[in-house]
Homo-oligomer: A and B are copies of this chain.
Amino acid sequence: MGAECHHPDGVHPGLKGSALGHALSAAESRCAATQERLTAPRRRVLELLLESNAPQKAYDLIAAFGAHGEPAKPPTVYRALEFLERLGFAHRIESLNAYVPCRIDGQSHRAAFLICDCCGAAEEFEPDFTAQLSAAAKAGYQVSTITLEARGRCAACSAG
């Protein structure tokens, strides 16, 4: 996580200005369509995730929450994250205890990440879980959610 090399963070630059505004508006629309409420704290946490270029720890979000440097209380942020995950706007990366905004259109309830141990980037990709789901079915499991986290080195860090 930046501990091993000095490559620039992240594949995703983090959204700013109008791109950020658009992403938030899109989230508003999706909430409106399903009668969910993108309230102020939820919107703020989503904004922080979208602005960032790397997975964010919950306490990073807590610290950055207030406009003038005041932190949030932990439950405020954890509740917002729970909401954002439920709606597919964000994902938790278990092996990092960190959160990223969903970068993939449409909510599949499935997440897969390529995590660079060098620069800390976490790239979401569209998973093909065919093989695993058939293994699960064979074992009699009814799978509701499935997550995959692959650790390694991104292209830039492999090269550098």
Supposing A130-B131, A136-B114 touch, asked if A146 and B148 sit within 8 A by C-beta, the answer is yes
**Interface contact A147-B146, CB-CB below 8 Å:** no
A112-B132, A128-B132 known; A117 vs B146 contact (CB < 8 Å):
no
Chain B residue at minimum C-beta to C-beta distance from A159: B140
Q: Are B149 and A147 in contact (CB under 8 A)?
A: yes
Counting CB contacts under 8 A, is A151 at the interface? yes
Do the beta carbons of B147 and A148 come within 8 Å of each other?
yes
A127 at the interface (CB under 8 A from B): yes
Shortest 9 CB-CB contacts between residues of A and residues of B: A140-B155, A94-B94, A143-B152, A128-B131, A146-B150, A144-B152, A148-B148, A142-B153, A114-B141
